[in-house]
């Protein structure tokens, strides 16, 4: 496996598109239940916890970009083999491929559960997962530029949903935010961990970096995207805290969708049905990006064509979709993804940067002597 990836000019895209790629990869089904998940740990301080999470993620993104800058045009798969050699490097690559596939399934199954709870209660998992995977494979077969285009279009088509929170904002209670900063460091730390799953997605930088034309602008646009997502999450969480009574927010599984219930349109009685349906436009970029990264890894490690790899991954996802039968199982499946994400997406990039710097420094001294 070559460390640096040779990318044809027609496959390159501008760094500013990372604003849409990273944001849409981070924003999926997690935001719908995020206010409740964080509120269970830090209550009225939850919006502060999300801002702190943004700082943690920014450090990880900075580590990713600085690691990639040590090479001219490498991805994580090539860096692993360069630093850890063939066997250990490919073992780490396989771990990341499994992680990406795992995240793909978490997103698809969480959205399936959402549709089943709000619209089609008896719809089998594999039917909706099959539809989602078919769309994702279709996007991935078009190449990385099509995947980036899906992210851009998905952002534009779904952004109007954000303005719907204006209606709940008119019914906030300021008393729900007091007393502020009323939790200890351990509770804030636990809250940051709970935010992890909802804010993952930035790690795709490891894999799409070689396809960016103006690499000197990657860090700036990546951080802009991270903080756009962070502020959006903090705003939605703050509105949920002000809108719901504390005990009610602890019980409601999807508070963001529940807020949509008060939206009244002259021609539509149940607006939340439209919101759930449109949410597919929000998770589709997630699925496309993760599927592309995973299939790209299989191509790099095993030499299998990316087309075949993406189809195999999709079929495995469909086949495994009925192995999560209950809500409790789904919670465990999702919690494991968050824990794995903390290690592979937040802690590991910082460790990898240190290792790469040390190895590069030792090689430089060896060559000088």
Q: Tell me, yes or no, whether 366 lies in a domain.
A: no
Tell me the CATH number at 292: 1.20.1740.10
What's the rounded mean pLDDT across residues 338-362? 92
For the ranges 246-260, 264-278, 306-320, the maximum mean pLDDT occurs at 306-320
Q: Tell me, yes or no, whether 175 lies in a domain.
A: yes
pLDDT in tens, 212-231: 999 999 999 999 999 999 99
**Count: domains in the chain:** 1
pLDDT bin (cut points 50, 70, 90) of residue 327 is: low
Query: Is pLDDT above 80 for 162?
Result: no
Q: Tell me, yes or no, whether 151 lies in a domain.
A: yes
What's the rounded mean pLDDT across residues 297-305? 94
Q: Tell me, yes or no, whether 283 lies in a domain.
A: yes
What's the rounded mean pLDDT across residues 37-59? 91
pLDDT in tens, 97-129: 999 999 999 999 889 888 888 888 788 888 999
What confidence score (pLDDT) does residue 269 get? 63
User: What pTM was estimated for this model as a whole?
Assistant: 0.93
3-state SS of the chain?
CCCECCCCHHHCECHHHHHHHHHHHHCCCHHHHHHHHHHHHHHHHHHHHHHHHHHHHHHHHHHHHHHHCCCCCECHHHHHHHHHHHHHHHHHHHHHHHHHHHHHHHHHHHHHHHHHHHCCCCCCHHHHHHHHHHHHHHHHHCCHHHHHHHHHHHHHHHHHHHHHHHHHHCCCCHHHHCCCCCCCHHHHHHHHHHHHHHHCCHHHHHHHHHHECCHHHHHHHHHHHHHHHHHHHHHHHHHHHHHCCHHHHHHCCCHHHHHHHHCCECCECCHHHHHHHHHHHHHHHHHHHHHHHHHHHHHHHHCCCHHHHHHHHHHHHHHCHHHCCCHHHHHHHHHHHHHHHHHHHHHHHHHHHHHHHHHHHHHHHHHHC
Domain span including residue 259: 9-354
Q: Tell me, yes or no, whether 360 lies in a domain.
A: no
Q: Tell me, yes or no, whether 359 lies in a domain.
A: no
């Amino acid at each position: 496996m070559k460390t640096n990836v040779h990318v044809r000019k027609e496959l390159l895209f501008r760094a500013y598109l990372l604003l849409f790629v990273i944001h849409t990869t981070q924003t999926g089904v997690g935001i719908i239940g995020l206010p409740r998940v964080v509120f269970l740990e830090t209550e009225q301080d939850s919006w502060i916890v999300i801002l702190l999470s943004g700082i943690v993620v920014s450090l990880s993104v900075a580590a990713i970009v600085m690691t990639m800058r040590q090479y001219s045009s490498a991805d994580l798969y090539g860096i692993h083999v360069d630093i850890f050699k063939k066997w250990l490097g490919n073992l780490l690559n396989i771990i990341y491929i499994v992680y990406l596939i795992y995240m793909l399934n978490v997103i698809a199954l969480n959205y399936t559960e959402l549709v089943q709870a709000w619209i089609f209660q008896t719809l089998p998992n594999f039917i909706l997962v099959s539809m989602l995977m078919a769309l994702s494979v279709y996007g991935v077969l078009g190449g990385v530029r099509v995947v980036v285009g899906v992210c851009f279009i998905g952002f534009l088509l779904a952004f109007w949903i954000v303005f719907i929170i204006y209606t709940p904002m008119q019914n906030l209670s300021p008393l729900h935010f007091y007393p502020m900063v009323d939790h200890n460091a351990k509770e804030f730390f636990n809250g940051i961990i709970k935010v992890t799953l909802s804010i993952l997605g930035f790690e795709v930088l490891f894999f799409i970096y070689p396809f960016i034309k103006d690499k000197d602008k990657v860090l700036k646009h990546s951080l802009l995207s991270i903080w756009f997502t962070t502020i959006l999450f903090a705003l939605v969480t703050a509105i949920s805290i002000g809108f719901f009574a504390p005990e009610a927010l602890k019980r409601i599984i999807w508070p963001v969708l529940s807020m949509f219930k008060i939206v009244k349109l002259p021609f539509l009685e149940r607006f939340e049905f439209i919101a759930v349906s449109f949410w597919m436009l929000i998770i589709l970029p997630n699925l496309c990006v993760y599927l592309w990264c995973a299939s790209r890894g299989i191509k790099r490690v095993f030499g299998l064509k990316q087309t075949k790899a993406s189809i195999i991954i999709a079929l495995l996802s469909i086949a495994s979709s009925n192995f999560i039968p209950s809500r409790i199982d789904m919670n465990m499946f999702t919690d494991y993804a968050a824990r794995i994400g903390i290690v592979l997406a937040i802690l590991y990039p910082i460790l990898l940067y240190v290792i790469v710097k040390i190895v590069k420094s030792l090689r430089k001294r060896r060559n000088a002597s």
